[in-house]
Amino acid sequence: MKKIGILFGMENTFPNAFIERVNSKNSGFIAEAVSIDKVVQADPTEYAVIIDRISQDVPFYRAFLKNAALSGTAVINNPFWWSADEKFFNNALAEKIGVPVPKTVLLPSKVRPENTSETSFRNLAFPMAWEEIFQYIGFPAYMKPHDGGGWKSVYKVVNPHDMWHKHEETGQLVMMLQEEIEFTDYFRCYCTGQKEVLIMPYEPRNPHHLRYAAEMKATGEAGEKLLETIKDYTLRLNIALGYDFNTVEFAVRDGIPIAIDFCNPAPDADIYSVGRDNFEWVVEAAANMAIERAQRAIPGQTNLTWGTFVKDALGIPAATNAAITSSAAIETPAVFEPIVAPAAAKEVKVKTVTPKKTSKLVEDKGAEPVPSEPEPKIPTKKAAATKFPAANSKLKKP
C-alpha cells in the first residue's frame, strides 16, 4: 500500500494541490485521486491513507470508506466516528472537557420523521418547558440544525414568535436553540493530526469571499493569551473528538473564546475562500499529516484514530492516541505510539490582513413580538407534561 488517495467532489483547488504537494516530497508514497470501480465486502484498497472530503454528501462513499478502513486504510477523518457525531453532542462534550460553549438546548423537529405517528412521541411532554428554555437561552438567539454545516438553516431569532415562525421552515430537521454570543473577535482554526493549529481571524458578517479578510482586534498581552487559549481549546476539542482534519470556530466575548462550530471534518480549503496564505498552510499540513499517517499505518490492522471520548469509554489510556485496532488494541494499548503531543505542537500561526467592510448577519428578518404558545412542534396527544425541569437541570430557576 504505497498510495495516498484523496476522495473529493466539487472542490477544484485543494485536491490537486494536495496531490502535488505529497508527490513533491518524495516520501515513497504516491498521491492520487481515489478511483473506485467496484466495492466488494472486506476487499482491501490500494491506499495506505485516504483523505475524505466528500462522504458527508455521498453515502456510497461513506460505506466504501468503512469497508476500506476495515482492511487497513487510514481514513481521515474516521468514517465511523463521523457517522456517529453531531453538533449538539459536540457542545455537550465541550462542556465536559472545559471548553466554553454557548448555552444550547435541543428542539424536537417541526415535522414528524417519516414512518412515525403521534404515538411515536408519547415520551415527549407537551407543552415542553418553553418558558424555562427561553429564560435559559435568552434572545436574540441562534437556531440551527443539531447536525448541520455550511450555514444551511441557520437562523438568528429575536423572540419566541420569531423562533416558532422560522421553525416552521425547518421540516424534519432536529434543531437546537443557542445563546447568541456577541463577539469582539471571531476565529476559525484549522487543526491537523490533532497537533498542528492555524488560527485565522474571520469575520462571519462579511460577504463570503471576504470572511477571511479580517484582523484580530485583541492586542498585546491579552491578544497573546487569547491565542494561547484558542490553541489549547482547539487541540482539546480535536483530541476528544478524534478528528485529524477539522476546523473550529470561536466567538470571543469579554476576552473568552467560546466554541461555536467545531464539527467540520471536511473543512473549506478552497484557495478562493481561505486566501493564498491559509491555503498554503493547509496544503502543507495536510500533506505532511497524510505522509506521516501512511508511514505509521500497520498493514493488516485498522489504522483509524479515535478521540479520547471513545477511548475513555473503552478504558484505553489517554496517552494512547494512535490508531486503535479491534480487540487486540484494547487489550494491549501500549503497542500504539501516541500521535498527539499538544505540548510539542508547533507555533501557532496567525494571519492578519486589513479588515474589509462588514455586511449583514445570517437570516435576520425580524418579527412582531407575540410570545404566545405555538402549536405543538410534533402533533402529539397531550402527554404527561414535565412542566418542571429535573432537579439538576440548568433550566431550574434559582
What are the residues whose beta carbons fall under 8 Å from the beta carbon of 387, sequence distance 6 or more? Answer: 125, 129
Q: Which of residues 336-375 bind ligand ADP (CB under 6 A)?
A: 362
The residue (of 148 and 376) whose beta carbon lies closer to ligand ADP is 148
Q: Of Mg ion, ligand ADP, none, which one sits near residue 180, judging by CB under 5 to 8 A according to partner kind?
A: ligand ADP
DSSP string covering 50-82, please?
EEESSTTT-HHHHHHHHHHHHTT-EEES-HHHH
Q: Tell which one of 34, 65, 260, 345 touches ligand ADP (CB under 6 A).
A: 260
Report, in Å, the least distance between residue 349 CB and ligand ADP: 21
Handedness of CA 44, 45, 47, 51 (dihedral sign): negative
261 touching Mg ion, by CB under 5 A: yes
- Which listed option, ligand ADP, Mg ion, none, makes contact with residue 52 (CB within 5 to 8 Å by class)? none
- The Cα-based distances of 18 to 22, 37, 48, 82, 303 in angstroms read 6, 23, 16, 22, 21
Based on the shown chain and the rule CB under 6 A, indicate whether residue 163 belongs to the binding site for ligand ADP: no
Burial bucket for residue 65 (CB in 10 Å: 0-12, 13-18, 19+): buried
Contact flag: residue 48 with ligand ADP (CB under 6 A): no
Binding region for Mg ion (CB under 5 A) out of 80-88, 113-121, 260-268, 292-300: 260-268
Position 185 contacts Mg ion (CB under 5 A): no
Nearer to ligand ADP, 56 or 73 (CB): 56
Q: Quick one: what does residue 102 bind among Mg ion, ligand ADP, none, with the CB cut-off 5 to 8 Å set by partner type?
A: ligand ADP
Neighbours of 28 (CB within 10 A): 9
* Rounded (10°) CA dihedral 81, 84, 89, 90: 30
Residue 74 or residue 189: which is nearer to Mg ion going by CB? 189
Question: Does the protein bind ligand ADP through residue 335 (CB under 6 A)?
Answer: no
Residues 76-135 that bind ligand ADP (CB under 6 A): 102
For residue 181, state whether it binds ligand ADP (rule: CB under 6 A): yes
Instruction: Give the binding-site size for ligand ADP (rule: CB under 6 A).
Output: 19
Cis peptide before 127 (omega within 30 of 0): yes
257 binds ligand ADP (CB under 6 A): no
Residue 182: how many CB atoms within 10 A of its CB? 9
Nearest distance in Å: CB 186, ligand ADP: 7
Q: What is the spatial distance between Cα 351 and Cα 199, in angstroms, rounded to a whole number? A: 7
The answer to whether residues 216 and 201 touch, using CB atoms and an 8 Å cutoff, is yes
Q: Which residue is nearest to ligand ADP (CB)?
A: 204
* Phi-psi map region of 326: left, alpha, beta (phi>0 left; psi -120 to 50 alpha): left
Binding residues among 132-151 for ligand ADP as defined by CB under 6 A: 142, 144, 148-151
Asked if 268 is part of the footprint of Mg ion (rule: CB under 5 A), the reply reads: no
**What phi and psi values does residue 239 have, to the nearest 5 degrees?**
-70, -40
Outline where DSSP puts E strands in the chain: 3-7, 30-33, 47-52, 74-76, 104-107, 141-145, 155-157, 175-179, 185-192, 196-201, 245-253, 256-261, 349-350
> Could you say whether residue 281 binds ligand ADP (CB under 6 A)?
no
Determine, following the binding rule CB under 6 A, whether residue 178 of this chain makes contact with ligand ADP.
yes
We find the least distance from the C-beta atom of residue 5 to ligand ADP, in angstroms, to be 26
What is d(CA 327, CA 302) in angstroms, rounded to the nearest whole number? 11
Nearer to ligand ADP, 152 or 397 (CB): 152
Interface with ligand ADP includes 251 (CB under 6 A)?
yes
Binding site for ligand ADP (CB under 6 A): 102, 142, 144, 148-152, 154, 178-181, 204, 249, 251, 260-261, 362
Binding site for Mg ion (CB under 5 A): 261
